[in-house]
Amino acid sequence: MTTVHEAAATATTSADLSVWPASTIEHLRGDLAVGGVPLAEIADRYGTPVHVFDEAEVRDRCRTYLDAFPDAEVLYAAKAFLCHAMARWIDEEGLGLDVWSADELELAATTGFPPDRIVLHGNAKSPRDLDTALRLGVGRIVIASPSEIARLAAAVGPDGHQKVMIRVVPGISAGGHEKIRTGTGAQQFGLSIADGYARHAIARILDQPQLQLTGLHCHLGSQITSVKPYLVAVRRMVGLMARLYDQHGLVLPELDLGGGHGIAYRPGGQALDLTTLARRIRTELADACATAWLPVPRLIIEPGRAIAGPAGVALHRVLAVKRTDERVFVAVDGGMSDSPRPALYGVRYAPRLIGRQSTADRARVTVVGRHCEAGDVLAVDAELPGDIRPGDVLAVPVAGAYHVSMASGYNLIGRPPVVAVRDGLVRLMVRRESQEAIHSGDVGL
């Protein structure tokens, strides 16, 4: 049996596979194998749409982060994609977990994930979110608004104790789309440095003896491909730490710079250089702290997309091909219900025909979904064989983050199954959502 590592060593290096998992191999018959398993075989066995995760790719990316940030705490952002298997992989690789809800927290707990390595976020935490976090004993809760302070203190109780961080808005615009830029003041996340709300909230936290403030947190946005915004954030966060020391004599031991590390979705696309990021953040943090006469806090980072995204592949079957004078539309059996990011953020992917070899000339086509929305577009100007036809299978790389996790039941189409591949084996991670499951909650009149 060919192992993933042997496959990676012999995999083709053609440019069109540069955004695929490292284990990807191209067969002469036109198919691709990931983790030693032919993708066309998965499509036939599990039906389409189906999402595939390369377990070795997930684990390798976890290790890459730990190697790049050896003195930092690395938390996987569960919102990118979470299931029992993913939680186990993350735990076994030594990462912590960043969750946003009681349900994500409960799922992690059922796998035995250590709660002290879990951080709870949320701009609008429900009573259940807080109660679950306190019951399970999460490591830290990130306070994102002033109203949470009294609520959390009351939930902890006078004899309780909970470590907290505070989410700070450093006033930096960064991210691949305006809808995923969260480092500026004109949105719902965190407390601004510029207007003084962050310092005011910190003073209130310090008045609550049952809340232990361990550090500052910020998250600039998502799909950031430049190092510069993170360096600016370091300077501004350390500047706030210096003011807190002057005002309260407070020395905070932790600094969380969030995630948002950009990845390439198409060959030639930009991605954040992780090695450069780690080196320059360490230098900037050491210099800023030395200037402020502060000890260097322990760094925390929260990658999600950069771990899950490149490890995932979505498989769709072509249902219809429509040719007009202006363009060719290729409609597939999925779309915005299982791959919503193109409709939400205008992201475009590079799908590829698998399962058969074509000698036809390449043509530029628009790959669309099956839903009743003109915005249900997966790829514009995608290069596919000119003889593309119904029944063909398209594979979409870099589909591991914010696809299944944001999937919906639009048009009452069930969410797709998720499978894992490794060492020539394929295993079911998440079952396809059945019509029985979809209709079970509909109680009638």
Active site members: 372
Reported as type and span, the H/E element at residue 37 is strand 37-38
Cα 218 to the center of its chain, rounded Å: 16
**Average pLDDT of the chain?**
90
Residues 168 and 31 in one domain: no
* Model pTM score: 0.91
What is residue 4's predicted lDDT score, i.e. its pLDDT? Answer: 39
Q: Convert the pLDDT of each residue in 134-157 to its tens digit.
A: 999 999 999 998 889 999 999 999
Distances, alpha carbon 278 to alpha carbons 57, 110, 190, 253, in Å: 20, 33, 24, 19
Clarify whether residues 174 and 28 are in a common domain: no
Range of the domain at 26: 4-54+310-440
Residue 76 has φ and ψ, to the nearest 5°, of: -80, 130
CA atoms within 13 A on the CB side of 381: 2
Number of domains in the chain: 2
Evaluate if residue 315 carries a pLDDT over 70.
yes
- Cβ contacts of 14 within 8 Å, gap of 6 or more: 26
182 and 199 within one domain: yes
3-state secondary structure of 115: helix
Domain end point (choices 260, 284, 303): 303
Q: How many CB atoms lie within 10 A of CB 130?
A: 22
Banded pLDDT at 235 (limits 50, 70, 90): very high
**Band of residue 223 on the pLDDT scale cut at 50, 70, 90:** confident
pLDDT of 403 above 90: yes
Supply the CATH number for residue 236's domain.
3.20.20.10
Same domain, 78 and 134: yes
- Please tell me the predicted confidence (pLDDT) of residue 6: 40
**227 φ/ψ sector (left φ>0, alpha ψ -120 to 50, else beta):** alpha
| Residue 374 pLDDT | 85
Angle at 374 between CA 346 and CA 316, to 5 degrees: 75
Backbone angles phi, psi at 129, to 5 degrees: -55, -50
Selected residue with higher pLDDT from 346 and 4: 346
> Residue holding tokens 């053609």?
14
Residue 12's pLDDT band (boundaries 50, 70, 90)? very low
Residue 128 banded pLDDT, cuts 50, 70, 90: very high
The shares of helix, strand and coil residues in the chain, as percent rounded to the nearest 5, are: 35, 25, 40
**Residues belonging to the chain:** 445
pLDDT per residue as tens digits for the range 245-299: 999 999 999 999 999 999 999 998 999 999 999 999 999 999 999 999 999 999 9
Question: Is 364 inside any structural domain?
Answer: yes
User: What are the φ and ψ backbone dihedral angles of 366, each rounded to 5 degrees?
Assistant: -110, 115
